[in-house]
Amino acid sequence: MNEIEPKIRPLVDALNRTGIARTFSSCEGHFAPDQQTIVDRNHAYVRFIPAEDCSLAQVENLLAYVLTRFKHQHGLIPVKLMAYKLYTPIEDERVEETFVLELHPFNRFDPPTANEQM
């Protein structure tokens, strides 16, 4: 599936427009009980790698900007935003490094309609 879900598309597009991030995976979150699987789907995310010729410092500055701007505009409610570097083992001696922006409902017991702002 190569289609970007509509509720996460603005964030995906914004990250790609920076010229610093190149996104490759995203999810708008799936909150209804019938949408739950063995994997936690009660959050939205975008995964990316640095764009060509971009440094780690540029990525870190972008993430710091996004996190602080989000907190300034929205505070801590209704969504908690976090960013981190994810290390995934690929082969015996190789680890893939990617970046993740995750959005979680502040209250995980909120009904799905409360999460429309994500």
Please report the pLDDT score of residue 96 as a whole number: 92
Of the candidate ranges 53-57, 84-88, 90-94, 106-110, the one whose mean pLDDT is the lowest: 106-110
pLDDT score for 115: 44
The pLDDT of residue 49 is: 96
**pLDDT at residue 27 tops 60:** yes
Confidence grade of residue 40 (pLDDT, cut at 50, 70, 90)? low
Instruction: Let me know the angle formed at the C-alpha of 85 by 83 and 90, rounded to the nearest 5 degrees.
Output: 140
Of the listed ranges 80-84, 99-103, 112-116, the least confidently predicted one is 112-116
Smallest CA-to-CA distance from 67 within 53, 82, 78, 57 is with 82
Cβ neighbours of residue 49 under 8 Å, at least 6 residues apart?
Answer: 21, 22, 24, 97, 98, 99
Q: Residue-wise over 84-112: b if at least 16 C-beta within 10 A, else e?
A: eeeeeeeeeeeeeeebebbbbbeeeeeee
pLDDT digits (tens, 9 = 90+) for 42-60: 788 999 999 999 999 999 9
Determine the Cα–Cα distance for residues 56 and 34; give it in Å rounded to an integer: 39
Whether this prediction's pTM lies above 0.85 is answered by no
Is pLDDT above 60 for 21? Answer: yes
Give pLDDT tens digits for 1-12: 578 988 899 999
